[in-house]
Structures are given as structure tokens and as C-alpha cells.
Amino acid sequence: MRQQTSWRRWFSGVVFGTSALLAVAGCGTDGVVGSNPGNEAAELAIDLSDPYGGIGSDPESPGFADEGILGSLVGDDPVTVREEGIPSDGDVPTVLFLRAVWGRVTEAPDVQEDEARDCGMLSWDGGLSVTDGVIRPVSTIRFERRGDYADSLVFPRDDKSILEWVSTTGCGQDGVVIAALVPAANDTLGNGDGLTPDDEIVFATGPLTVSFRLADLARLDTTIMVDDVNGVTFAGFERGDMDDVCRRGRLVGVWARTEVDADDRQGGYFRGAWLNPVGQLVGYMRGRWGTTDDRGNLFIGKVISRGGNYEGHVRGM
């Protein structure tokens, strides 16, 4: 991943029970109207004293017509590899998904590069492997195609239980989304015993090697730091999570203090992209956080679909 500015803080988390997170929620069709592009004025206009921030339920332009949101908060890049057809001579396999992101995982992506900033270069060459079954690559995350920070998956693969990559990070992040397919019992593609408590998935790179039980993968959500700024975030899903994108997914984005006013009580803003379990962009969120006299610290925001249709409000303290 290339060098990036990072005056904003990066957040990333699994979305469980999304309809409970939103004050009003529902998956709908796309709609488009105008919005205020290019700066934080729209977020800072949100009224923290109002339960809904004074935010209406009208549709918006995709990404709130904000070039910063549209440029930096995007879906993952799908991987299409001809060799990845996985035959089976048994029952339907257990399918589990893992999203792994490594590098400066606490910092926000930025549309503009900062060539003057030097975060060094950290090699994450390595891969993922499973003790039973096969790994199918689904998406890459922020892979660079050329230059000093060029990244790539390693093909062809002699052993489909292993997926390897070449990856270097500086001020940013790289990552992958994979599907782990564990054949049913008696399927000759696997060990013949199906998914068992002993089956593991192993993440092995120079900075970090760690393993997780495949049986626990569907609810995995953890970050492991390797130094003060670099680490790896892991989030797992199961095939059933794909049935309803309103129910489960990944939220990634920025949480920033405003530069308009030095008053700490004014707080700042947040912007996020909502991804489904395999990294496809589902929608966007934007809002404001700060402090009020009567309610203390809180945040209020609005969620829209990928095309701009209103999905709901989000708020908390």
C-alpha cells in the first residue's frame, strides 16, 4: 500500500444486527437527489440536541456526493481466477469467510497521497492456509499494482489449501477476503471427516503468525497489533450471513476531529462505508459527534444505500 496522509482516525468493525443499530432501517431501492459535496460542512450542520440530528429521510446522491467518501471508502477488488473452480464429489461443503487487513490499521485512508511522509516499508509476504479443505480468494483490499508498494496474490497454486501473497505497506493497509471451503464428511477433497474442532486456519507473515479454529471463524472479530502502529484485523463470516446484507457486514471509515473550531465540545464528524461479508459496497454513513449540556457525549448520523436511498439513522452515546 502506498504512502498516505492520515490526519483522520480509521475505524473498522463488524456490523451485527444492523436493523437494531439503526433507528429506522430497511433495505430498499436506489434513489438520487443533491447533497453538499467536498467538506465537513454537512456533518457539522447536524444538530446534536435533536434526537435525529435534524437529518431528514430524503434520498441522497451516492456517497453523499462527497468526493472524499467516494474516493477512499470503496468496496474491495474482486478476484477472478480461472483455476479457482473447486470440484466436489460429496455433499455441499461448509463455507466460511475471512477478511484480513494488515498494515497501519488504526489510520484512515486518504484520497490524496503524501509523498513527503515516510512511514517506512513493512513486508507482509506470506499467506493463509487451512488444515482441511481449500481456500478460494474472493477479494483483495487496497492492493497496489505497481511501484515500490506493489502487491499481488501468488498464482498458479499447486496446493489449494494455501493462498500466498506479496505485500508491502507504508502508511496504509492491504488485505484479502477469502472463502474457506471445508468438504463434507466422506468427500475425497478433504480429510474425510468434515469440519471438526481440530481444523484451523493459519495466517503466516513475517510480522505475525497466528491461527484460529475454523469452527469459530464465523464470529471472529479481533485486531492483533505487531508494534505501536501496525497490526492485523480479522473478521469472519459464514455463508448464511450472505442471505441478508441488512443483518451482517463490515463497517469501515474515518472518525475525525473538526479543524474548523478548536473547541473540544464541537467534536467532529464520521464517515463510513458499509460492506457485505465478501467486501462488496452496500451503503454509506455520515454523521457528527460531540458534547451537549444535557446528554453528554454522543453521535448522530444517517445511513444510505449504495445508490443513495435512505436506510436509517444511527445514534449512540
Residue 245: its pLDDT value, please?
52
pLDDT(9) > 70: no
Task: Count CA atoms closer than 13 A to 153's CA, side-chain side.
Answer: 25
- What band does 228 get if pLDDT is binned at 50, 70 and 90? very high
pLDDT, tens digit, for every residue of 173-189? Answer: 899 999 999 988 877 66
pLDDT tens readout for residues 109-128? 543 345 556 888 999 999 99
Distances (CA, A) of 270 to 46, 60, 93, 264, 277: 12, 17, 40, 15, 22
Dihedral angle of Cα 301, 303, 308, 310, to the nearest 10 degrees? -100
- What is the model's pLDDT at position 90? 56
- Encode pLDDT of 200-210 as tens digits: 999 999 999 99
Q: Is 258 exposed, middle or buried (0-12, 13-18, 19+ CB in 10 A)?
A: middle
Between 52 and 224, residue with greater pLDDT = 224
Which pLDDT does position 241 carry in this prediction?
79
Q: Is the per-residue pLDDT at 6 higher than 50?
A: no
- Burial class of residue 147, CB neighbours in 10 A (0-12, 13-18, 19+): exposed
User: 3 vs 61, which has greater pLDDT?
Assistant: 61
Place of cell 446522491: 61
Chain centroid to CA 99: how far?
A: 8
Residue 188 identity (one-letter amino acid): T
* Apex 143 CA angle, 216 and 68, nearest 5: 100
**In angstroms, rounded to a whole number, what is the distance separating the alpha carbons of residues 265 and 257?**
10
Residue predicted with more confidence, 18 or 29? 18
**Strongest mean pLDDT among 38-47, 59-68, 123-132:** 123-132
Instruction: Find, among 101, 223, 109, 253, the residue nearest to 171 by Cα.
Output: 109
* Residues 277-312: tens digit of each pLDDT: 777 888 899 999 888 877 788 899 999 998 999 998
The answer to whether the Cα torsion of 206, 166, 249, 273 is positive or negative is positive
Give domain limits for the chain: 9-74+246-316, 77-109+117-242
In percent, how much of the chain has pLDDT > 90?
Answer: 35
Whether pLDDT at 16 is above 60: no
Whether the pLDDT of residue 35 is over 50: the answer is no
Please name the residue that has the C-alpha cell 471438526.
196
> Torsions phi, psi of 276, nearest 5?
-80, 175
